Amino acid sequence: MGNVKTLSKPKRRSLLVSVGMSWLFDAMDVALISFVAAALALEWSLGPQQLGVLTAINSVGMAIGAACAGILADRFGRKSVLLWTLLIFSLASGLSAVATGFVMLCILRFISGFGLGGELPVASTLVSESVPANERGRTVVLLESFWAGGWILAALIAYFIIPNFESGWRIAFALGALPALYALYLRRKIDDSPRFLAQKNKVEKISLKQRFAQVWAPGYRKTSLMLWILWFTVVFSYYGMFLWLPQVMVYKDYSLTKSFEYVLIMTLAQLPGYFTAAYFIEKFGRKFVLVVYLVLTAASAIWFGMADTTATLLAAGICLSFFNLGAWGGLYAYTPEHYPTSIRTTGAGLAASFGRIGGIIAPFLVGWLISQGVEISVIFGMFCGMILIGAAAVAFLGKETKGTELAE
């Protein structure tokens, strides 16, 4: 345990930036679909339920990708699976630009989601295993902060390109193919985690059935239950709220351009949310960050749902972005710390995969509720309740992992 080396400080910084850029591209892809959905609602005359399907199908792919990639990364290594998933999602995103209809676009979004869902838990585990215990939480939260950069980039693309060009959403998707080139750079730039390499021979002897059984073995059962509840509630609320933000603003009688502008302003609040979480996670611990930030996310959701002026919508949206994304940083730091190296990405991947089921249900559910005339305030009240369940799971079932060495 103690003799497994971590990377040198310069290599840790290089790894954080290198993997962080792939994380940024992931976020850009997820965010673009929320802006594209609002544009396609006008161009293709899509109803709320069709928009719900379009946004949910990405999460179907992510659920399957997270489980598959997590298992494969414990067998073949973090680096190789990271590169393959990055290639899959970026190529599918680029091909989305030439989609000729709703069904074709949904198929490509599923494939993109498969790659994206597989990459995220593997990337966070690679970084987690490469840094010392006293920096691990902060480093993984800083990795997550690149997500905000991706959302901001997507919001800028949406604001300047989508409304100003004919079928501008195609240009936006074409830009999503850029990470395929970045994968070639990553192949030479990063190495596999020292912990995986030290355990590689032992890890290869564990079968798929044994990996799954170990995640739910008596010693990890309570932990896995807590993480699965946490992931489900966080993903359900995030994808239900944020993928619908531009469209919700349109429903509140703002123009498409104004909607994109206001969501861009809200998105900027993600960065300080991450940075404060990165500070608090090593000072007060993982449970503190997750519980406090989730409770404040729940309060912000209620506030946003009830807001009826531009000022209150912006203020509530800023708080929603700040606290929700800070909680996401804590989630990615916290999850891999509960399992030994042999099943670490399997455990993280399965928890993320179960969470993605929430990402499948929520966007479709929001579309159906809106089509039934349910008020936005009621819908965001539902998200408030779901987020509080996740906070309670951490508070009562979770253990503190701040400063602990990763298990071998």
Single-letter amino acid, residue 127: V
Q: Does 106 or 42 have the greater pLDDT score?
A: 106
pLDDT tens for residues 184-197? 777 777 888 787 87
Any idea what DSSP says for residue 8? P
Give the pair of three-digit tokens for residue 392: 């309670």
Segment 95-110 shows an average pLDDT of 92
Q: What does the alpha-carbon distance between residue 185 and residue 183 come to, in Å, rounded to a whole number? A: 5
Segment 331-360 shows an average pLDDT of 89
The pLDDT, as a whole number, for residue 265 is 87
258, pLDDT greater than 70: yes
Helices (H) and strands (E) in the chain, counts: 17, 0
Q: Residue 31 — very low, low, confident or very high, per pLDDT cuts 50/70/90?
A: confident
Segment 315-324 shows an average pLDDT of 94
Cβ–Cβ < 8 Å for 35, 246: yes
Q: Residue 1 — very low, low, confident or very high, per pLDDT cuts 50/70/90?
A: very low
Q: What does the alpha-carbon distance between residue 113 and residue 68 come to, in Å, rounded to a whole number? A: 12
Q: What does the alpha-carbon distance between residue 328 and residue 242 come to, in Å, rounded to a whole number? A: 13
Please choose, from the candidates 335, 275, 12, the residue with its C-alpha nearest in 3D space to the C-alpha of residue 145: 275
Place of tokens 């074709």: 104
The pLDDT, as a whole number, for residue 233 is 97
The pLDDT, as a whole number, for residue 400 is 93
HSE-CB at 172 with a 13 A cutoff on CA atoms is 31
Single-letter amino acid, residue 186: L
380, pLDDT greater than 90: yes
The pLDDT, as a whole number, for residue 202 is 58
- 404 found inside a domain: no
368, pLDDT greater than 60: yes
Cβ–Cβ < 8 Å for 85, 122: yes
The pLDDT, as a whole number, for residue 182 is 81
Q: What does the alpha-carbon distance between residue 258 and residue 251 come to, in Å, rounded to a whole number? A: 12
Q: What does the alpha-carbon distance between residue 340 and residue 88 come to, in Å, rounded to a whole number? A: 28
The overall average pLDDT reported for the chain is 86
Lowest mean pLDDT among 69-78, 79-88, 203-212, 297-306: 203-212
221, pLDDT greater than 90: yes
Please enumerate in sequence order all residues whose Cβ is within 8 A of that of 402, keeping only pairs 6 or more positions apart, or say none: 137, 281, 282, 285, 286
- 334 found inside a domain: yes
Domain count, the chain: 1
The pLDDT, as a whole number, for residue 172 is 85
The pLDDT, as a whole number, for residue 134 is 85
Q: What angle do helix axes 310-334 and 221-242 make, rounded to 10 degrees?
A: 150
Please enumerate in sequence order all residues whose Cβ is within 8 A of that of 217, keeping only pairs 6 or more positions apart, or say none: none
58, pLDDT greater than 80: yes
pLDDT tens for residues 383-395? 999 999 999 999 9
- 110 found inside a domain: yes
Q: Residue 250 — very low, low, confident or very high, per pLDDT cuts 50/70/90?
A: confident
- 209 found inside a domain: no
The pLDDT, as a whole number, for residue 232 is 97
Q: What is the dihedral of CA 130, 393, 351, 178, to 10 degrees?
A: -70
To the nearest whole percent, how much of the chain has pLDDT over 70?
Answer: 96
Q: Does 261 or 322 have the greater pLDDT score?
A: 322
319, pLDDT greater than 70: yes
- φ/ψ region of 45 (left if φ > 0, alpha if ψ in -120 to 50, else beta) reads left
Place of tokens 């995986």: 196
- 228 found inside a domain: yes
pLDDT tens for residues 127-147? 888 888 888 889 988 988 898
Please choose, from the candidates 189, 203, 181, the residue with its C-alpha nearest in 3D space to the C-alpha of residue 79: 189
DSSP string covering 281-338, please?
HHHT-HHHHHHHHHHHHHHHHHHHHH--SHHHHHHHHHHHHHHHHHHHHHHHHHGGGG
- 169 found inside a domain: yes
- 180 found inside a domain: yes
The pLDDT, as a whole number, for residue 6 is 66
Q: Does 8 or 20 have the greater pLDDT score?
A: 20
274, pLDDT greater than 80: yes
HSE-CB at 298 with a 13 A cutoff on CA atoms is 17
Give the pair of three-digit tokens for residue 272: 């300080």
Q: Does 186 or 296 have the greater pLDDT score?
A: 296
Segment 194-203 shows an average pLDDT of 71
Cβ–Cβ < 8 Å for 235, 387: no
CATH number of 373's domain: 1.20.1250.20
pTM (predicted TM-score): 0.81
Q: 237 lies in which domain range? A: 10-185+217-397
284, pLDDT greater than 80: yes
Please choose, from the candidates 170, 195, 189, 403, the residue with its C-alpha nearest in 3D space to the C-alpha of residue 281: 403
The pLDDT, as a whole number, for residue 2 is 45
The pLDDT, as a whole number, for residue 4 is 54
Lowest mean pLDDT among 95-109, 119-133, 182-196, 360-374: 182-196
To the nearest whole percent, how much of the chain has pLDDT over 90?
Answer: 31
Single-letter amino acid, residue 167: S
> Residue 401 — φ and ψ, nearest 5°?
-115, 10
Q: Residue 95 — very low, low, confident or very high, per pLDDT cuts 50/70/90?
A: very high
The pLDDT, as a whole number, for residue 408 is 67
Q: What does the alpha-carbon distance between residue 231 and residue 398 come to, in Å, rounded to a whole number? A: 13
